[in-house]
Amino acid sequence: MRGNATRVRDTQARTEVESAVLAVLDLGGMLTRRQIAAGTLSTTWATWRAVARLAARGLVVASPYDRDRYSITACGRTELWRRRS
């Protein structure tokens, strides 16, 4: 039982960081992971994991010119809107 509670907490924290990343990217522009982390008040590591998960789901995309810069996709904006509702 204790393991399930930990997993639920981890999932909630992950969702909060992902939502924060989407919200920061929704402001516009191509941001680095450090800029995103500063905007979310999360650690760089937590931000990187969230960005990687969001990119795998097509909600954010890396710049073709600088792989360390990311922007939100149309699907990402839809997901952010859904999470805010």
pLDDT tens digits along 36-62: 999 999 898 999 999 999 999 999 999
- Residue 39 CA to residue 65 CA, distance in Å, equals 23
Query: What residue spans define the domains of the chain?
Result: 16-82
Q: Does domain 16-82 have CATH number 3.40.50.40?
A: no
Tokens 């795998």 sit at which residue? Answer: 56
- Are 69 and 32 a contacting pair, CB within 8 Å? yes
| Total Cβ atoms within 10 A of residue 28 | 9
Give the dihedral sign, CA 15/20/21/26.
positive
Asked whether residue 7 carries a pLDDT value surpassing 70, the answer given is no
Least confident window among 8-12, 25-29, 48-52, 76-80: 8-12
pLDDT at 66 over 70: yes
Q: Which of 7-11, 67-71, 81-85 has the highest mean pLDDT?
A: 67-71
pLDDT score at 8: 44
Taking residues 9-38, what's their average pLDDT?
Answer: 85
Q: Is the pLDDT at 6 greater than 90, yes or no?
A: no
